Chain A
């Protein structure tokens, strides 16, 4: 039940009528009031039932963050009266739904298609909250209102901004592979094929055994290793909630992880994903070759930073207890937080590095670097000192990790994804995978 602005106008018109004709007696006031009430009641009774309206939904179920998804809503009016109504397809504020409400007129037994454009402002699942129909009567005075649940979910996927780095990194990969025009020999350690000796080939790569069986000289060619396993671990603990430039660390980490996964997928490696704080939040295992990128993106989409301290012991146990008994590259995306790492991860590193190659990637905060450069005022110099201390601890943890044979990638948000990709390519070039 609701009233319209027209009903309010009618109310004030009744005031005018009573002002003019009130000298006739009190009955004029009550008669005006009664007429108004009767008109409202009549309008309510004559309005099409909003309760009987039926809905159908269709449209996008996922959208990359920053882009717009369209969800269609089909209204069916099964009644015998024309439905004149305002319809609101409600979504959570961060879904960025437009328009907020629509004025519709659906003939009896007719259908109407409405479209809602969603531009989510946050990663994760957006749920349709409900469709409210406010059916106005023929006089336009009063309306009946009913809310229906018409479920729909739109998943806002990580934006993957770093995909613009992908072509450049792929061409560097192809250089390694020998597919590129610039021939770089000797990369990789995996036997690829035998071919005729061409002047200019390294004599050390001549396969004498094969040469003995043939007329010409035969050399071995090598290629980078393939089918290596890469496990990307996202730390979703409390340190991942901190915002670097208004985006949580976790989202920067996802961006870097997606670039690495895309690159590794093209390079023929298998990419697994694990999101962990005190328990497994998401897990993707690759079976066979091929790109797992869509699964990774879907698994990452609903992840939220949890406000708990991460449990490195459980993390190490989960990695070691995983189904892959073979050596793999473990890429841990976390924060180089001295307190958390020194107490949690460092003591357990030997167990991990004995079996796997560990790479720690962390997003640095440009704000801390800015603070470290502040000078001139007392306040500024204290800020600089505090920032220097943070940077010093970060440096100390990095040195400690490197001493344990861990690869450390520490870069600001704009460079973390390419830096991680470069580190991966470098490992591949060195044949350390």
Chain B
């Protein structure tokens, strides 16, 4: 403690006259600083690529052969592909299907609403058996001529009641859906009301065409119920399968706004992007780093008094507030009256009454809040009383001054 004050506090530090070490990062520094994050980002990209190689994006949708969801058909396709003795070729367009189909293949057509008439005509010429899953009227006419829709029964389990070997082997199946009828066809799974059959098989020029009124038996969700799986496997019978699920038809013939704009307008987007980037960089680049500063504490000295005032007001603490006001007045009056700080209330009231000529009882209520007969202090009954107390005390002080 007896050490002399440090020179640093006595005199301002005398800075060196010349200096100028650059602190901005040079190119080497920038590279050193950036290579870590860059390597990390690169690693992430490589990892993402590797992961995406293994898993091609699953398509989804009803009876989609890659979709493991309840309405997909991945389970059936995998069974057909690996356990039923044949291979499954997934065709995404009619042309693919025509190419893949042969005399010994079974063409399964789902989502026939996406097939235009000309493609249906192409398909009608392909050899081999066909299985149509709830075809559109157009597809029905083209691929299973003679079959017509006669009714509809939803969500029912139907019994085969026919001589078709596949149906007999499978037994009951979830074939409640559209109902068909055809002349000279093998019809199974009749609806109890006699409106039609859930499965009909007709002979065409190139083989048989089997029409199912509902996709339910093929879905992942229902495949293990009833005889659904057996029905399909028996229909296919160990042959190769071409599973045709056409892609949505691209809208043709409608020009979008992009192709209608002039090429120069389109090309100008390239320099426009560059110009906007330059604009952002021009405005965003700071002239030197931000300067940090240690900020001082900003707190009003009167904060405790103001806080206490808020508490008094919030709790309506009139007794405490009144006591504080009275003690303030008494503190200022006592020296003028020649009284000590510990004078008794009676002495103070007597002295004040002698000087002001007021009624001692009223002064006692005003200065000490003790009403005659032990009644409650009239000044602290409500906020108006408190305001009146302040005014009365001020008046008293003014008269005694």
Using a CB–CB distance below 8 Å, which chain A residues touch chain B?
A: 1-5, 7-8, 11-12, 14-15, 17-23, 25-26, 28-30, 32-33, 36, 51, 53-58, 61-62, 86, 88, 90-94, 101, 122, 125, 129-132, 134, 145-155, 241-244, 248-249, 280, 282-285, 295, 298-299, 301-302, 304-305, 307, 318, 321-323, 335, 363, 365, 367-368, 371-372, 375-392, 395, 399
B275 near A147 with CB under 8 A, answer: no
A307 partner, pick from B297, B386, B394, beta carbons under 8 A: B297
B322 near A385 with CB under 8 A, answer: yes
Given contacts A29-B267, A242-B301, contact A93 B15 (CB under 8 A): no
Check B264 for interface membership: any CB of A closer than 8 A.
yes
A11 near B24 with CB under 8 A, answer: no
Using a CB–CB distance below 8 Å, which chain B residues touch chain A?
A: 1-2, 4-5, 9-24, 26, 262-268, 270-272, 274-276, 278-279, 281-282, 285, 287-289, 291-293, 296-306, 308-310, 312-313, 317, 320-322, 324-325, 327-328, 331, 341, 383-384, 386-387, 389-391, 394
Interface core residue of B26, B293, B302, B306 (most chain A CB under 10 Å): B302
B387 partner, pick from A26, A30, A151, A377, beta carbons under 8 A: A377
A410 to B312, CA, bound (A): 27
A380 to B287, CA, bound (A): 51
CB neighbours (8 Å) of B264 from chain A are 18-23, 28
CB distance from A270 to the nearest CB of B (A): 15
- Among residues of B, the one whose C-beta sits closest to the C-beta of A23 is B264
- Among residues of B, the one whose C-beta sits closest to the C-beta of A128 is B15
- Among residues of A, the one whose C-beta sits closest to the C-beta of B327 is A392
B299 near A242 with CB under 8 A, answer: yes
CB neighbours (8 Å) of B4 from chain A are 285
- Among residues of B, the one whose C-beta sits closest to the C-beta of A62 is B12
B387 near A88 with CB under 8 A, answer: no
Given contacts A132-B287, A378-B313, A395-B331, contact A285 B268 (CB under 8 A): no
Given contacts A2-B285, A149-B20, A151-B16, contact A36 B271 (CB under 8 A): yes
CB neighbours (8 Å) of B275 from chain A are 8, 11-12, 14-15
CB neighbours (8 Å) of B301 from chain A are 242-244, 249, 335, 363, 365, 367
A365 to B235, CA, bound (A): 100
A302 to B10, CA, bound (A): 10
Given contacts A57-B15, A57-B17, A318-B1, contact A147 B268 (CB under 8 A): no
Additional pairs, 15, CB under 8 Å, beyond known A152-B15, A379-B313, A381-B321: A8-B275, A11-B274, A20-B264, A22-B262, A36-B274, A93-B291, A131-B288, A148-B20, A298-B11, A371-B302, A385-B312, A386-B321, A386-B324, A392-B331, A399-B341
CB neighbours (8 Å) of A25 from chain B are 263
CB neighbours (8 Å) of A244 from chain B are 301
